[in-house]
Structure 1
Amino acid sequence: MKIDLHAHSSASDGTQSAADLVAQAKAAGLGMVALTDHDTTAGWQEATDAAMTVGIRLVRGIEISCSRAHRSIHLLGYLPDPDDPRLAIELARARDSRVTRMDRMIQRMADDGIPVTVEEVRAQVAPGATLGRPHLADALVAKGVVATRDEAFRELLHDGSKYYVGHYAPDPVTAIRIVRSAGGVPVLAHPFAMRMAPVTDEMIEEFADAGLAGLEAHHRDHEPEEVERAVRLAGQHDLVVTGSSDYHGTGKLNRLGENTTKPREWARLLEQAHGVKVIEP
């Protein structure tokens, strides 16, 4: 069975609805797909209904944006209970912070004469979705300021841009503990993808001690030597090795199933979960 444990819908920064994502996963030959939108579970029900219709196993998950020492670190949480109070509060705090951050970024652009409004950005956001820079990028494309989402990030929205404003993000150890308390299983997403400030070996050891369950080793943004490093570290700290597409629809080049997780590795994660169940059609 082909398993892809990292994909996004329009409930965060993907370009397709949760239902369309699930249908595409089935068409791509996957036997199981995880929906892991940023800081939200808004797409879970739609994805569940679609999975039952098309006949594919669905792992309900999230991707929590974390921060440590000026590093952007992403944590995947599989099968947590969305009604867990600590998790619900943390996700709401992150989403609220993204709204105020967006207002500030738009104001910085306005001060420079870049014509985009809050209303135009919100028009790009699906109901209940987590607001993010990709929506600002799409608004800039719609206005003709840039030609593509990629160009928007490259020229205006990257982390080093003068228009960039950060948002609230918990420390990874805090996020790991929250996912665990909600019955979920935490896996570190693409740990070496941030070239300017990758996760260190010492951090991974600390995260493992805090309850981290796995490392996403096989990822488009990892070079072969980085995959080897992740696999080595996983072995040292008894962590599960995963592989995923990090699919975003047309927003990125990533394709469903381009990297996958071995069934035996998924089984190691599943035995640690006691939040919600895998959707079995």
Structure 2
Amino acid sequence: MTTLLNADLHCHSVVSDGTMTPEELAARAKANGVALWALTDHDEIGGQHRAAAAARAQGMAYLTGVEISVTFADTTVHIVGLGFDPDDAQLAEGLVATRGGRGERARDMAQQLAQVGIEGAYEGALKFVGNPALISRTHFARFLVESGVCKDTSEVFRRFLTEGRPGYVPHRWARLGDAVRWITEAGGMAVIAHPARYKFSANEEFALFSEFKAHGGRGVEVVTGSHSPPEYLTYAAMAQEFGLAASRGSDFHSPDESHTDLGTLPPLPATLTPVWELLADRIRPAAA
């Protein structure tokens, strides 16, 4: 498999905060030419067996996936896990603990929104939740659009739910080292998701990459729906500097909300080692 492979190793289903089922995502990925796919729901691996079966039915190769929220430098950072055992007990237990604070956080968010005149946000957000244990800002954003407070989810995050705005409630997630350990001890590879999104200083970013690698992390998303073309080059260079493999993924959530569709990103730069080359023995092949 080469860097030209149409691999999409980052997307979300109704099992976390996407709007499509694993089966619908698999069909969409296949229709868009994806050859290797991973479903990476937030802090949840409950959709993995469905996704693997759907990929096989569509004739696509599959890697197990998850996106774990961690706190680093007082910032929420996401670590993607690929190629792990979806039945690993330690990983499952760690994710349950990580999800534990979402319900209380959601009620606090709703209380803040009520203070600025937006009533019923918690109940409204729940209407969009496939898994109540994973209620998130995205579900609140969909409620605020449906109720006419904002015209789209981008406006929601400009006006609400981000630091310094009404409805923002921080949450302390897993530690970086724990997330990397859960993934690697389950037989998978840990990958820093969309690093440009975190807006770290140069020193903070260096610290993230250094600590991540020290814990056993092995990859970084270079070509993602959250990066601009100049950022592809920035993180290609970071991958080479830190000796990390490169990943590619749209971060697709919904046909109506996501800027980048499944399978539509440019290929990885040819100078990089794709994560799928290092995970070849973990890839579930397409049906014959």
* TM-score for the superposition, normalised by structure 1: 0.89
Give ranges in structure 2 of 5+ residues lacking alignment. Answer: none
Cα displacement (A) at 1:211: 0.6
% same residue: 33
Matching of residues 147-166 of structure 1 within 5 Å = 147-166=151-170
> How many Å separate the matches in 2 of 1:266 and 1:236?
16
CA contact (8 A) 1:87 1:178 kept: yes
Letter in 1 for 2:258: K
More moved, 225-234 vs 39-48: 225-234
Cα displacement (A) at 1:245: 1.1
Q: Secondary structure at the match of 1:72?
A: strand
Matching of residues 49-198 of structure 1 within 5 Å = 49-127=53-131, 130-195=134-199
> How many Å separate the matches in 2 of 1:145 and 1:54?
39
Q: Give the structure 2 partner of residue 214 of structure 1.
A: 219
Cα deviation code 1:25-73 (max 9, x no counterpart):
0000111111001000122233223223222122221000111112221
> How many Å separate the matches in 1 of 2:115 and 2:18?
29
Letter in 2 for 1:214: G
Q: Secondary structure at the match of 2:38?
A: strand
Letter in 2 for 1:265: P
What is the Cα-based RMSD across aligned positions, in Å? 2.3
More moved, 88-97 vs 228-237: 228-237
Cα displacement (A) at 1:264: 5.9
Q: Secondary structure at the match of 2:41?
A: strand
Letter in 2 for 1:240: A
Matching of residues 13-52 of structure 1 within 5 Å = 13-52=17-56
> How many Å separate the matches in 2 of 1:58 and 1:140?
35
Cα displacement (A) at 1:137: 1.1
Matching of residues 218-233 of structure 1 within 5 Å = 218-233=223-238
CA contact (8 A) 1:94 1:167 kept: no
2:246 corresponds to which of 241, 249, 256: 241
Letter in 2 for 1:268: E
> How many Å separate the matches in 1 of 2:281 and 2:211?
19
Q: Give the structure 1 partner of residue 207 of structure 2.
A: 202
> How many Å separate the matches in 1 of 2:9 and 2:131?
24
More moved, 142-151 vs 100-109: 142-151
Cα deviation code 1:156-207 (max 9, x no counterpart):
1223323201223122222111211111110111112222667512321221
Cα displacement (A) at 1:225: 4.1
Q: Give the 4+ runs in structure 1 shifted more than 6 A.
A: none
More moved, 172-181 vs 221-230: 221-230
> How many Å separate the matches in 2 of 1:121 and 1:54?
32
